[in-house]
Structure 1
Amino acid sequence: MTDVSAPDITPVVRPEEDKVLPAVVYGLYLLGFASCAATTVVGLLVAYANRGTAGPINQSHYTFAIRSFWLSIGWFLIGLTMFILGLPLSLLLVGIPVVAAGVFIMGAVGVWFAVRCAVGIYYLARGEAYPRPRTWLI
């Protein structure tokens, strides 16, 4: 009799990357809402310091976090500029829509930044690389 055994199936083992530092970056980013963005800069520095030595999964999260920071700064400065330029013009009632647009942009940037962090945490918790780390949308 021949011994019929199950085929030798070896599971595919993905090398696990440490999720702690990308989670710290996202946590520092979200903590920045309470600390007037001071911890956000620390999170940016952690992301820059670890991006070069990270594996492919973590590198996508670091790239995503770095781009999230710089895109939010850019859009926030656009909204702040509109707000500041619209203030003197609002005395003539012409600048009120410009002030309102500036406030809206600054608020929308805050929501956009928080959603990007939440989506990044979602993919990190699943152990997946961020699918499109260089996009400016979510």
Structure 2
Amino acid sequence: MTDVAPVAEEDKVLPAVVYGLYLLGFTNGLTFVVGLIVAYVGRDAAGPINRSHFEFNIRSFWLAIAGFLIGGALLLLGIPLSLLLIGIPMMIAGGLILTAISVWFVARCVMGIYYLVRGEAYPRPLTWLI
């Protein structure tokens, strides 16, 4: 018989709450910010598994904000310029960027939940991809 210490399992509730708040944010917008605050607060006291999820959550938020700002700026700039017909491609590009960022953000949340349910740290929390 070997003396192997049991691995202490981390509580998965707080990272799951952040993922849920992020997904709920598509209905009201406010819970994106609440999820970010929870991730920042929980990051310092978290174990290695939860810390990777919190880092992933924080990075996902800021990358999504950057994408939404770019897409939103193109869309809003394209609206008045569409009167001259040169804004139509800008509006299309802005809409496509907003859609792509939304799909990307949801996919990141789903993958994070997948690894969280399995009890694993997120393997690449600092990646731009999924």
Report the TM-score, using the length of structure 1 for normalisation. Answer: 0.90
**Which among 25, 32, 54 is matched to residue 32 of structure 1?**
25
RMSD: 1.1
Q: If you compute each CA radius of gyration, which structure gives the higher value, 1 or 2?
A: 1
**Which among 15, 20, 30 is matched to residue 8 of structure 2?**
15
Code of the residue aligned with 1:71 in structure 2: it is L
Code of the residue aligned with 2:128 in structure 1: it is W
Aligned to 1:4: none
Q: Give the total of aligned pairs.
A: 130
- Greater fraction of residues in helix: 2
Please say if 1:45 is aligned against 2:37.
yes
> C-alpha displacement at 1:10, in angstroms?
4.8
Identity %: 64
CA distance, structure 2, for counterparts of residue 45 and residue 106 of structure 1:
23
Report the TM-score, using the length of structure 2 for normalisation. Answer: 0.96
**Which among 103, 107, 116 is matched to residue 115 of structure 1?**
107
> C-alpha displacement at 1:95, in angstroms?
1.2
Please say if 1:103 is aligned against 2:99.
no
> C-alpha displacement at 1:11, in angstroms?
5.2
Code of the residue aligned with 2:32 in structure 1: it is T
Runs of 4+ in 1 over 6 A off after TM superposition: none
Q: Which is further off, 9-18 or 83-92?
A: 9-18
CA distance, structure 2, for counterparts of residue 114 and residue 129 of structure 1:
18
CA distance, structure 2, for counterparts of residue 116 and residue 14 of structure 1:
27
CA distance, structure 2, for counterparts of residue 123 and residue 10 of structure 1:
28
Code of the residue aligned with 2:38 in structure 1: it is V
